[in-house]
Structure 1
Amino acid sequence: MNHIIDIFNQINSLEVNMVNCMFRLVLSMFLGMIVGAERKRKGQIAGIRTFALISMGACLAMLLSIYVPQAYLGLKNGDPGRIAAQVITGIGFLGGGAMIHMKGAVRGLTTAAGIWMTAIIGMAVGIGMYLCSIGATLLILLTLVTFEQYEKRRKLGQESKVINLTVEGIVGDIENYREVFRQHNVHLSTFYIEYDYEHNRTHLDFVVLAHAYADLLPMLNSVGEAGATRRLTLSSQIDI
């Protein structure tokens, strides 16, 4: 019993020792893995291993910030602002690498924010704020999972889509397509037309703004029936 109490006291000690050092590293790794598992579930490039390493690295930086003044300057509580302060700056490079910039669109912002938040959690574990770190991890999961389901049910958020059409004949009016978009609550942002007089065809590119979780198949069927369609494709704006 005394041995267990001694371990507990070492884990919660303000001074860095082998017991609380290993405990904090393992806890930070575990919390990082939880967030990474959720991101990997969404198919993001940063997964379990990446988030675990980020959390452990931030935790170790905080431990070093506390240990160095204790060992060499004799300060009991250390100066956590020395080394750990650089984690905030350095983690920005990893967050930037998680984002993808294509055709003016940005993807991976949520993963980048998760990386930054996981690093802060690792720092909190390193300084001994165990309950706060666990609570922050649970809040991250609440934000990423529960709020995502809420967005799907409410159909919140919009995405840019591109509809490519090849139609027989020379199209001089697109009002019938506008009417289709209005009926399906899709906003037409802009469009591009290319006339192929040699083959008597018209190529149309519609850039539309639709709900992120909406089913666009009924709209595509209506678009295809609005003219003598030979070819019809739907893609994200970043793919064009």
Structure 2
Amino acid sequence: KNGDPGRIAAQVVTGIGFLGAGAIIQMKGSVRGLTTAAGIWIIAAIGMAVGVGLYWLSVITTGLILVVLVVMERWEHYVHSGVESRIIRIKLSVIAEDIEGYREVLARHHIHLSNVYVEYDYMEPVTRLNLVVLVRERTDYMKLFAELRDVKPTIAISLGTQVSI
């Protein structure tokens, strides 16, 4: 017997799903490897198409995938050129219940807030905010920090590249 092609395809999909899940990595609030996982899956699909004799479909699909990946990479580079990930650390002399004022200041400066890490020290009382942001290279940090300082009673503000809680 030749075997059941449907069962073979199902096992390929299962195995490739496992490999794709291994390619997806989550680190400190960001997910990486989705494009790699999708690439592994589509390559397996193209391989199965070749295996059943769909050569032209495989060639056309390969071409489309290459075009999409190249175009999307260029578009992403264009959109994110000059953008850096930074951490704004703010130490407050109060326990902050909300950060809406900080969101408004960042929005006025066209800064994208991607994540927030908060630490409360009820003994002092102190709040430490780590705001993970995407900023343009030309951001005026002095003006930004002055506006952030005015939101709540502030002890210190600093800029970094890694979260430290």
Distance (Å, rounded) in 2 between the aligned partners of 1:108 and 1:171:
39
Letter of the structure 2 residue corresponding to residue 218 of structure 1: T
Q: Which protein is bigger by CA-based radius of gyration?
A: 1
- TM-score between both structures, scaled by the size of structure 1: 0.47
Letter of the structure 1 residue corresponding to residue 118 of structure 2: Y
- One of 5, 9, 31 as aligned partner of 1:84: 9
Provide, for residues 164-199 of structure 1, a one-character-per-residue CA deviation record: whole Å limited to 9, x for no partner: 2468xx47998985564132223557563657x98x
Distance (Å, rounded) in 2 between the aligned partners of 1:221 and 1:145:
38
Letter of the structure 1 residue corresponding to residue 46 of structure 2: I
* Alignment size in residue pairs: 152
The aligned residue for residue 232 of structure 1 is: 159
- One of 15, 22, 27 as aligned partner of 1:102: 27
Higher strand residue share:
2
- Output the aligned Cα RMSD: 4.1
Letter of the structure 2 residue corresponding to residue 232 of structure 1: L
Cα distance 1:221–1:111, how it changes in 2: closer, same or farther (>3 A)? Answer: farther
Moved over 3 A (4+): 102-105, 151-155, 170-180, 187-195, 201-204, 219-231
Task: Note the residue ranges of structure 2 that are not aligned, 5 or more in a row.
Answer: 150-154
Letter of the structure 2 residue corresponding to residue 116 of structure 1: W
Cα distance 1:166–1:216, how it changes in 2: closer, same or farther (>3 A)? Answer: farther
Would the aligned equivalents of 1:84 and 1:123 in 2 still touch at CA under 8 Å? Answer: yes
Distance (Å, rounded) in 2 between the aligned partners of 1:89 and 1:146:
29
> Structure 1 vs Structure 2: percent identity of aligned residues?
47
CA offset at residue 123 of structure 1? 1.1
The aligned residue for residue 123 of structure 1 is: 48
Distance (Å, rounded) in 2 between the aligned partners of 1:165 and 1:190:
11
Does 1 or 2 have the higher relative contact order (CA < 8 Å, sep 6+)? 2
The aligned residue for residue 152 of structure 2 is: none
The aligned residue for residue 163 of structure 1 is: 88
Task: Note the residue ranges of structure 1 that are not aligned, 5 or more in a row.
Answer: 1-67, 70-77
- One of 22, 37, 49 as aligned partner of 1:112: 37
Q: SS of 1:110's equivalent?
A: helix
After superposition, where does 1:29-108 map in structure 2 within 5 Å? Answer: 69=2, 79-103=4-28, 105-108=30-33
Cα distance 1:124–1:164, how it changes in 2: closer, same or farther (>3 A)? Answer: same
Letter of the structure 1 residue corresponding to residue 63 of structure 2: L
Cα distance 1:131–1:175, how it changes in 2: closer, same or farther (>3 A)? Answer: closer
Would the aligned equivalents of 1:100 and 1:106 in 2 still touch at CA under 8 Å? Answer: yes
- TM-score between both structures, scaled by the size of structure 2: 0.63
- One of 68, 80, 86 as aligned partner of 1:143: 68
Cα distance 1:217–1:177, how it changes in 2: closer, same or farther (>3 A)? Answer: farther
